[in-house]
Structure 1
Amino acid sequence: MKVFHYKKKLNLSLGIVIIFIFLSGINVNSSLFSKEVTPPFINLGLENMNYGISLNNAPQININTSSEFRMHEFANISSSKENISSIDINVPSSDWNLTNIELNFTDIRLKQETITLASQDDVSDVWVLKNGEYEQLAMQMEVTESIKLISIDIYGFSSQIPEVDEVFVKITGWDDGNNEPDTTKIYGDTIPLNISNTPQWFEQKFAEPIDLEPDNYAIVLDGYPEIGNDIQYYWFINETNPNSLTMSYWDYRFFQGGWDWYSIAGDVFCHRINQFANRSYRPTEINMSAVINEKSYSILNGVDEGMGYLNLPNLDFPIPGTILQIEISTNESIQLSFNLNYSLSINDFKNVDLWLKIEKVKANEWIIVPNITRYSFYYSVAFEFPINWNNVNVFRNGLNISEDSGVLFENDILTIDNNTITPNSTWLISANSEQKDFALSSSAITFNPADKLEIKAETSFGNGELRFSLIDSNNQEIYEEIRSLSLPTEKFSYVISSGDRAGIWNAILIWYNQTDAGFASLTFNVELPFVLEPLSVFFISIGIVGAVSSGYGSYKLIKRRKQTEAIKKRKIIDKCMDIVNLKSILVTDRNSSLTLFEGTYVEKGLDSNLISGFLQAIRSFGIELTESQESSQIIKLEYQKLKIIMDEYGDFRIILIMKEIPSIDFLDSVKDLSYELKEKFEKYISNFNGNIKPFKYIDRLIVKHLNGELLYPLKLDRAENSNITTEERALISKISGLLKTKNTDYIYFKDIVEEKACSPEEVLLINSLIQKGILNPILSFK
C-alpha cells in the first residue's frame, strides 16, 4: 500500500509537472489568427503644434497647422469727401499697413479763423463797468471783407458771479464822423454777457452767425440802465501799444446834464474775433500740411487757387485701429474747409489653416482653407508657395476655378483678383509636393512581454516635427511621442507589457515642417503566451482535479474576485472621467452640416466661433467616413487643445467635444447612441424642411446612453429622508457648502467630484442620492 500510494503520488505529480510545462512552454504566434493590418488613418489637428489621433483602416494621414502659413491681402480704397476739415478713412479691420496714398484737395477755403486784437499778454490796465459810472464799454471793429461773425472772446472777469442778466453784448454800427459807436444800428442778436469771477477768456457766442460787409462796427458791453450796484465787470485793456482802433466808454456828462460816449484812440480792449470768411488759399500760402503717422508732409499747390495734392508712395506703417486719421494743419490760426478725393493702397498678412494629407505611396497634398471676403473696394489676395510645391488648384464653392482669368500663378505666387472674389463663398486651395524619404529600423521583428522595443529613424532633415505612434493589432494607438527634430538619428522606445494585444503592430513616424513632409512605417510581431479556451482547459485538467487542493482553488477564486472588483472600480472611474471631460455634444445633418441639436455641459459655454471654425474645417477639408451609411464609424481629432470625437452613421453626425480622449466603453456607448439616433429620428431627417424642433428630444437618448443624468445640473432636495447613510449625509453637507460658495441652487457633477481623482465611492454615493430623489437632474436647464 505504501509503495502503491507513493507511485500514485509520483505519477500524479509527474502529470501535473508535464502539463504545467506543456501549458507554459508553448507560445503561439498570434499572427496566425490575425489579418494583415494596413497603416491606420491618423488625423493630427495642429493648433500651435498640438496633436490628436484618429484610427480607421485607411492608409493616409492628415495634418492641420495655422502657425505660419500666411495669406497676403491687398486693397485699394478710393472715394471722396466734401466740406471737411480733417480726414478719417475707414479700413476693413485693424492691423492693415499703409503703403501708398494720394490726396487731391479742391475748394480749400477758410472755415473759421480767430483774430486776436489784444491778448492776455498785452494787458496794461483794466476798465470797470459799473453802475453810475461807465455803464457801457465799446471797441471799434474793422471788417475788411465779407464775413460771418461767429463769436467774440473778451478777457476779463466780474467781482462776483451774476445771478441775473444785467449786461448784454451786441454788435452796433460805428459813427466815423464822431469816432464812436452808433447804437442806432444793431446787427444780429443781443446776447447776455458770459462771465465769472475768475480772470480768463470768455466766449460770447451768437445764436446765429452775423453777416457783416466791409465797414467799421462796434463791440458793445451794455449795462445801461440795467446794471446794479452789487457787481462790477472788468475788461482788460492794452494802453501801451498804439493801435489804429478806438475804444469808447459811455459816461455821464455833468456840464451837459446827460450820458454820452467818450473815445480814446489807440487803446484796445483784449478781445478775439471768431469768424467765417469767403476766402480760398493755395496750400503753400498757409503752409498747409498733412500729419500721417506723426510725420508732417507738405501739401503742394494745384493748378488753381484752392487746389492742392499730396502723393506718398513706398510707405510702410501699421494703421492703428480701423480708421486712418490724417490731421490737416497750417501756420495760421484758421480752420480750413475743403473737398477731397483720395486713394490709398493697404496690405495685410493673415495666418490661414493649412492641412497636409499624406498617403504612403502618393505625393503629399497641401490644402489651404482661407477666409476670403468680398468688399466694395478693390481687394485681392496672394499666397507665396514653397518652390517644391506644384499642381496648384483653386476651388470656389467646390468648383475648380484655376483657369479663371482672375487666378494667376506665377513665380511660385498665387494671386486671386478682385473680380474673381464673390460674396459669401467658401475657398479651398490645394497643391502637391514629393514625400521626403527616411528609414525606420527596429531592434528585432518579434517582441514578448517585458521586451524593450526600440525604433530608430535615420533622417537628413534640418528641422521639423516628429510624431511617433504605435498601433496595436486592434488598430488602437497605444503609445505616442512628439518631439522636435534635433539629431540625424532619432530613437523611440516602448516596453511591451503583458496587458498589450498580441499580433501585428505598426510603428508609424511622421516628419513634417511648413514645406515638406515624410511618412515611414514598420511592421513587427508581438507574441504573448498561449491561453487555452475554457473547454480545452476543462478536458486537460479533468485528470488532475483530484491533485488540486481546495486551498489553491480558494486562492484562484479570491484572485478572480479581486480582479473583478478592480475592473468594476476602473469602469466607475472611467465613466466619471468621461462625464467630467465632456464639454459639449452636437448632432448635425451630415450632408448640410446644419446643427440639429446642441448640448453644452459646462457653465461657461464654448466659443461659438471655435465650434463653427471646426465645422467649417470639416466641410472644407472633406473629412468623411466612407462606410458610415452601413455602420457607425468613429474618428478622433484634436482641434485647439480640445479632443473631438466624431461619429457618423446614416445621415447623422455626432460631435463630442472633450478635454481628454474617453474610455473604450464610452466610445461603445456613442456607437449605440448613433444606432438609436438613426432608428428614432431618420424619418425627420429624410423629410427635413428646416424645422429642428423634433430633434430637441435627442437629449433623452443622451441620458439613456451616456449617463446623461450626470451631465445636467443637479438640484439638491433638502427634504428630510431617514433612509440616508452617514456617508451620504457627509456628501450632502459637502454639496450644500459648494452651493453656498457658488451662490446658486444647482451644481454640476464635475463640481462635486475631484476631477483628477474621481473616487468610485463618491461616484456611487452621488448615484445613490439621485436614485433616492435627493439629487435631481434639471433636464430642462438652459
Structure 2
Amino acid sequence: GLIQFIPFSYAQTNGEPISISSSLEFIEYSEIEGIKENISVVNIQLPEANWTIEDIQINFSDISLGSEIRTIEDTETGFEDVINKNPSKRTFALGTQLEILEVTEIFGVFIKGYKTPQANETIKFQIQGYDEGNHVPNNTIHRSIDLNISLNLAWYYQDFSSDPITLPVGNYSLVMNGTNLLANADARYIWQKNHEDPQFPFLHTSSYETSWSTGIVNTSFLCKLNQRIDRSYFPSDLNMTAEVNGNNYEIINGSIPGTGSLEIPDADYFYEEINLNIPIKINESLTLKFNCNYTINLRNEFTTESFVKFQETNNQWSMSPIISRISQNYHIRFDIPKNWYNFTIYRKLSSSWENVTSLVQVINRFITIPNNIIEDGAEWKIEANSPNINFNIEMIKTEWKRGDELEFSVNAPTTQGNLTFIIIKPSGKAELIEIKEAVSELNYFSFEIPSNWTKGTYIGKIYWNNETDVGMLSQEFQISIASIPFTMNPWMIFAIILITAGISVAGIISYRTIKTMRNKQAGRKQKLYDSCIDILNLDYIMVTDKKSGLNVYTQSFVEKAIDASLISGFLQAIHSFGIELIKVEDQSQTIKLEYKDSIILMSEFVNIRLILIMKERPSRFFLYSIEELAYDIYKNY
C-alpha cells in the first residue's frame, strides 16, 4: 500500500530540525493447550480477542452417545391395577420384563397410568432382577423409589437420576410394588397395558398376590426408558464433523473405538471473540459425549513506533515494543528491514538494561525473541543502524530575491517514500515548507519567498524517508532585497507650485529684511524664480500616516500616475531599515533622498509625513517651506 505521511516535529534531534518516526510490525505467537471432559461441544477460552487462529489440533477420547428415550410399549389396550379389595380380590404388585442387550445406564422410567382419589398410601416403583425359569421378578431389588403417579391418566416419570444404575446385558423387571397395602376397595393404582399387539410380544408380564404368577407373553405394560448405552464409537460410526469458521471438517478415526482426531493445519482466520466455540455434529438425534485435549496456535500483528536519529555516516533507529506474555508458550518475531544492521536487543527487569542479543534467534533476517527469555513486566528496547539513502537536488540558481518563486527538483530513490522540505533561516529557526509523497523519481518543488524575509544565507533541507530508510541533503542559497524602480513624469505640479511659491515668497521676504532695497528686490526676484522652478520640478505630493505608512492624500502633477500605496510603503521600509538619509539641518525634521533622476523629500510633524517627489534638487527656500506646510496640514486637517 501507499506509505503514509510520517509525523514530524520542530524539536531539534541530534542537530536536525525534525524527528522522523514510523510504525514497524511485530508478530506475536501463542500456543494454548487444555483438556475438556464429558462435553458435547468444544468451547475454548482464548487469552485475548482479535487474534488470528493459525492451526487447530484436537484429540478425542471416550466418544459415546448421551441419554436417549427407549420405548418398550406405548400403545394401550387395557390396564391392570394394584389393589387390596378383599382377601378374594387383591393384587399387590405388577411386573414386566426388561431386556438389556448392551450395558445400559438407566436414569429413569416413564409409565402410563393413574390412581384413584382414595389411593393415599405410598407404594414403590422398583428395578428388580428376573427369574429366567418362571419369567417373573426374582425379588432382587436394584433400585427402589416412591411411585410417582396422580389422578389423571398420563405418563409419569420415575426418576432414578440421583442414583442411576448401570445394568449389564441380561433380563430385569420393572415392578409397581404395593406389598402390605391396607385393605381398601376404592384404593387402586392403575398401570396401562397392551395385551393385543405389543411391540415386543416375547416379553413377559406377571402379577403378585401371595407369590408371582407365571409370566405370560403377548402382554406388556406401557413404559419408556431414559437410558444411555455404554458404548464407544469411532467418529465414522456417527459421521462426526467439526464446524470451524463456517466450514465442516471430518473427524478422523483413532486407533481404537471411542477415539479420533481433528487437524486443521492452515486455518488462518481472524477471530474477534474471546470464546472459541467449535460445534461437533453427528448423524444421530442423540446427545454426543466425549473427552478431548487440544492445542491452538494463535498469531497477532501489532505495530511499534520506531524513531531515527540522523548521523554523519549512518542513521540510528530505536524502538520499544510492549511485549506481554499471554500463554505459557509465547514468542515474538520481527522481520529485519533490508538495509538495517548492527541489531542490539535490550531487556530491563529491574533498574538497568541488559543486552540479550545473544539469547535471541536470527534466521533468514527474522529475529525471534523466544519463550524462555520473555518475562512478565519486562521492558524491551531494540536498536539498529541504517545507511543514509542517496538522492540528488538540482537548483537552477542559488541567489534569489524576496517574492521570487524558488524552484528546484529532487531525484528521489526509486523506492516509494516521502519528501519533506524545510528551510533553515539565518536566525537558525526551521520552517516546514512542504511534505509530499514521492510518486516518481523526479519531483518538483516550488515556493514563493515571502516579502518579509530578511536577506542572508538560507539552507534548504530535503529529507526522504519510508518506513525503514531515510536520507537527507542540504542546499545553501542567498536571498537579497530587490530594488523598487520609480518612473518620474515631466508633467506635474501647478497647484502645489502655487502653494509652495506662496510659502517660499513669504520666507524670502522675511529673510531679506536686512538687505538694501535693491538687494531685497533682487532677492525677491530670485526667490520667485526659484519657487517657480521648484514648482515646475514638483511631480507628486503625498500625505501619509507616520506610524503605519498608510496613504492619506495623493496629488499627481504628471500624466503618468504611480501607485501611491507602493511608494509610501517603500519609503516606510527605507525609514524602518535605516537607509542613510541626508538632513537639511541638525534640528530639521525634513530628510532628502536622491534616487536616479528623482529627488524625494520627506518632512514629519507629530504623526504625519509629507512626501514630495521632484525632478531636480529644490532650492533651500523650498526646503524650509516644506516644514511649514507640514505644520499647517497637521494644524488644519
TM-score by length of 2: 0.60
What aligned pairs does 1:214-233 form with structure 2 within 5 A after superposition?
214=168, 215-218=171-174
Note the C-alpha offset of 1:551. 8.3
In structure 1, runs of 5+ residues without a counterpart are 1-45, 558-782
Partner of 1:469: 422
CA distance in 2, matches of 1:371, 1:196: 71
Offset from partner CA, 1:275-305 (integer Å, 9 cap, x none): 474x545555555555544423233233x56
Q: Distance in 1 between matches of 2:283 and 2:295?
A: 26
Distance 1:445 1:238 in 2: 118
User: Whose strand proportion is higher, 1 or 2?
Assistant: 2
In the alignment, is residue 392 of structure 1 matched against residue 343 of structure 2? yes
Task: Indicate yes or no: 2:44 matched with 1:93.
Answer: no
Say which SS state the counterpart of residue 436 (structure 1) adopts. coil
CA separation in 2, counterparts of 1:362 and 1:96? Answer: 41
2:382 aligned with 1:429: yes
Structure 1 partner of 2:507 = none
How far apart in 2 are the matches of 1:556 and 1:136?
134
**Cα offset, 1:314, TM superposition:** 4.7
Identity of aligned residues (%): 23
* Structure-2 change in CA distance of 1:58 and 1:127 (3 Å): farther
Cα separation, partners in 2 of 1:445 and 1:124, compared to 1, 3 Å: same
Determine the structure 2 residue equivalent to 1:321.
273
Cα separation, partners in 2 of 1:217 and 1:458, compared to 1, 3 Å: same
Alignment CA distance shift 1:217-1:360 (3 Å):
same
Per the TM alignment, residue 270 of structure 1 is displaced from its structure 2 partner at its CA by: 6.9
State the Cα distance separating 1:242 from its structure 2 match.
3.2
- Kindly indicate whether residue 166 of structure 2 is the aligned counterpart of residue 209 of structure 1: no
Distance in 1 (CA, whole Å) between partners of 2:226 and 2:368 is 58
Alignment of 1:196-595 (within 5 A): 205-206=159-160, 208-211=162-165, 213-214=167-168, 215-218=171-174, 242-244=199-201, 265=218, 269=222, 271-275=224-228, 277=230, 279-281=231-233, 290-293=242-245, 294-302=247-255, 306-319=258-271, 321-331=273-283, 335=287, 338-344=290-296, 346-359=297-310, 361-397=312-348, 398-404=353-359, 407-442=360-395, 444-500=397-453, 502-527=455-480, 543-545=587-589, 553-555=606-608
Q: 1:7 corresponds to which residue?
A: none
In 2: Cα distance, 1:367 partner to 1:131 partner: 91
- Match of 2:71? 117
Greater share of helix: 1
Residues 1:131 and 1:65: Cα distance change in structure 2 (over 3 Å) = farther
Partner in structure 2 of residue 143 of structure 1: 100
Distance 1:168 1:49, change over 3 A: farther
> Residues 179-229 of structure 1: CA distance to partner in whole angstroms, max 9, x if unpaired?
6789996824336459999x9x9866445133254432327699x99xxx9
CA apart distance, 1:112: 3.4
**Of the candidates 5, 12, 30, which is equivalent to residue 56 of structure 1?**
12
Deviation at 1:63, TM superposition (A): 2.1
Distance 1:233 1:540 in 2: 142
Q: 1:479 to 1:392 in 2, by over 3 A?
A: closer
The 3 A distance-change label for structure 1 pair 168 and 429 is: farther
Retained in 2: the 8 A contact 1:440–1:520? yes
CA-to-partner distance for each residue in 1:649-699, whole Å, 9 max, x for gaps? xxxxxxxxxxxxxxxxxxxxxxxxxxxxxxxxxxxxxxxxxxxxxxxxxxx
Cα distance per residue 1:7-57 (max 9 Å; x no partner) = xxxxxxxxxxxxxxxxxxxxxxxxxxxxxxxxxxxxxxx996463422337
The match for 2:614 is: none
CA distance in 2, matches of 1:388, 1:296: 44
Q: Taking structure 1 as reference, are residues 448 and 373 closer, same or farther at Cα in structure 2, changes over 3 Å only?
A: same
Please give the secondary structure, in 2, of the residue aligned with 1:519.
strand
Query: 1:465-521 CA distances to partner (integer Å, 9 max, x unpaired)?
Result: 222233434444444422222233222233233444554433232222234322223
Distance 1:489 1:99, change over 3 A: closer
**Taking structure 1 as reference, are residues 514 and 240 closer, same or farther at Cα in structure 2, changes over 3 Å only?**
farther
Amino acid at match of 2:251: S
Aligned partners of 1:247 and 1:269 also within 8 Å: no
More displaced stretch, 55-64 vs 431-440: 55-64
Q: Give the Cα separation in 2 of the matches to 1:139 and 1:541.
A: 144
Alpha-carbon offset, residue 349 of structure 1: 3.7
Relative to the length of structure 1, the TM-score reads 0.50
How do residues 10-159 of structure 1 correspond to structure 2 at under 5 angstroms?
Answer: 49=5, 51-56=7-12, 58-60=14-16, 61-66=18-23, 69-106=24-61, 108=62, 110=64, 112-117=66-71, 140-144=97-101, 147-152=104-109
Q: Give 1:147 deviation, angstroms.
A: 4.5
The alpha-carbon distance between structure 1 residues 128 and 244, as it changes in their structure 2 partners (threshold 3 A), is closer
**8 Å Cα contact 1:73-1:382 kept in structure 2:** yes
Looking at structure 2, the residues matched to 261 and 473 of structure 1 have their Cα atoms a distance apart, in angstroms, of 123
Rounded to whole Å, the distance in 2 between the matches of 1:185 and 1:438 is: 98
User: Structure 2 counterpart of 1:400, which letter?
Assistant: N
Query: Based on CA coordinates, which of the two structures has the bigger radius of gyration?
Result: 2
Letter in 1 for 2:339: N
1:108-127 CA deviation, whole Å, 9 max, x = no partner?
A: 264733143269xxx76687
Q: Aligned AA for 1:187?
A: R
| Shift, 1:102, TM fit | 4.1
User: Cα deviations across residues 687-713 of structure 1 (Å, max 9, x unaligned)?
Assistant: xxxxxxxxxxxxxxxxxxxxxxxxxxx
Equivalents in 2 of 1:233, 1:497: separation in Å?
A: 110
CA-atom RMSD, angstroms? 5.4
User: Contact 2:3/2:418 (CA < 8 Å) preserved in 1?
Assistant: no
Which stretch has the larger CA shift, 240-249 or 458-467?
240-249
* TM-superposition CA deviations, 1:410-435 (whole Å, max 9, x none): 32111221122222112222333322
Query: Is contact 1:454-1:493 (8 Å) kept?
Result: yes
Deviation at residue 71 of structure 1 after TM alignment:
1.7
Cα distance in 2, alignment partners of residues 412 and 323 from structure 1: 35
Whole-angstrom distance in 2 between the partners of 1:335 and 1:556? 105
Q: Unaligned 5+ residue runs, structure 2?
A: 84-90, 482-572, 592-600, 611-637
Secondary structure of 1:403's partner?
Answer: helix
Determine the C-alpha separation between the residues in 2 that align with 1:235 and 1:551: 130
For residue 348 of structure 1, give the secondary structure of its aligned residue in structure 2: strand
CA 1:191–1:324: 2 relative to 1, 3 Å: farther
State the one-letter code of the partner of 1:545.
Q
Letter in 1 for 2:368: T
Partner Cα distance (2:3, 2:224) in 1 = 67
Q: Which AA in structure 2 matches 1:54?
A: Y
Matched residue SS, 1:394: strand
Residue 199 of structure 2 aligns with an amino acid whose one-letter code is P
